[in-house]
Structure 1
């Protein structure tokens, strides 16, 4: 039995040493201030805030209604994607990625509306996108299609 334990102890020791080396390297990498530029810091902070909010908001107490619970978790998930895409729009320079970020904002907003309409939930009041300047004197944008019309169109499509 002792000869069996000796290799096990040795391999356990090796694993502990490897874990310590990897852990130390990861801490050193994360703590290295040259890894992120001063320019990238606002993006990273905004992205971290969006991720934290998303994860917090996705932690729900189940209601017993699978559909409501699904929407309750997916809406913050989609909003997190919107918030991260808006950070890309504010700080990113790659035009292809910025176009993708714009598409994410539009598509995720549409899916949030569709999910809420699917449950008969009220839609939130319209607000300017957080990556756009707010003008107090500017009139609110008008919808080309009302929420009722959108809901009726969704019902037609589902038939």
Structure 2
């Protein structure tokens, strides 16, 4: 039987503290993941609710206007969901797809406004790779600077 030295006691105590910290950290990780998933789900639910409410239109009798009136909020909903992916998602492939969705849907919204003779919606910033400091890049062009998007704005009757 060996005597326990003060040095050995400190080592055992340190191991116990480190072990307890690891157990606590592992317990926190799922909670953090759950809160991220909950925030993502809440944003997507809100986007879907806004989109569905905006798509409920009274038919005007003009098929083209009704089509655009429903498609514009549908596209805006896709933009909002893609923005949530950029805020919370970590899969780089899906994040890139989300960036592309934002640009393409903004262009299609602008095209529908122009086709109906309506003013362009306000400019939106180009999507970024992420909203955190570790992922921020501004790699995609602004949707109004895309080739083929140079269109005159008409204010005259």
2:81 to 55, 79, 84: 84
| TM-score, length of structure 1 as denominator length | 0.60
Q: Deviations over 1:101-120 (max 9, x none)?
A: 00000000111111111111
Partner of 1:122: 119
> Comparing both structures, which one devotes a greater share of its residues to helix?
1
Q: CA deviation at 1:129?
A: 6.2
Q: How many residue pairs align between the two structures? A: 111
| TM-score, length of structure 2 as denominator length | 0.61
Structure 1, unmatched stretches of 5+, are: 1-33, 134-140, 153-159
1:61 to 31, 43, 58: 58
Q: Separation in 1 of the partners of 2:145 and 2:85?
A: 27
Q: Separation in 1 of the partners of 2:35 and 2:122?
A: 36
Q: Separation in 2 of the partners of 1:52 and 1:58?
A: 10
Structure 2, unmatched stretches of 5+, are: 1-30, 132-141
Q: CA deviation at 1:37?
A: 1.2
Partner of 2:135: none
Q: Deviations over 1:3-36 (max 9, x none)?
A: xxxxxxxxxxxxxxxxxxxxxxxxxxxxxxx9x8
Q: Deviations over 1:106-157 (max 9, x none)?
A: 0001111111111111112224469787xxxxxxx8x547x983369xxxxx
Q: Separation in 1 of the partners of 2:101 and 2:91?
A: 15
> SS in structure 1 opposite 2:34?
coil
Say whether the 8 Å CA contact 1:43–1:87 is kept in structure 2: yes
Change (3 A) 1:149 1:39: closer
Say whether the 8 Å CA contact 2:99–2:127 is kept in structure 1: no
Say whether the 8 Å CA contact 1:71–1:115 is kept in structure 2: yes
Q: CA RMSD in A?
A: 3.1
1:48 equivalent in alignment to 2:52: no
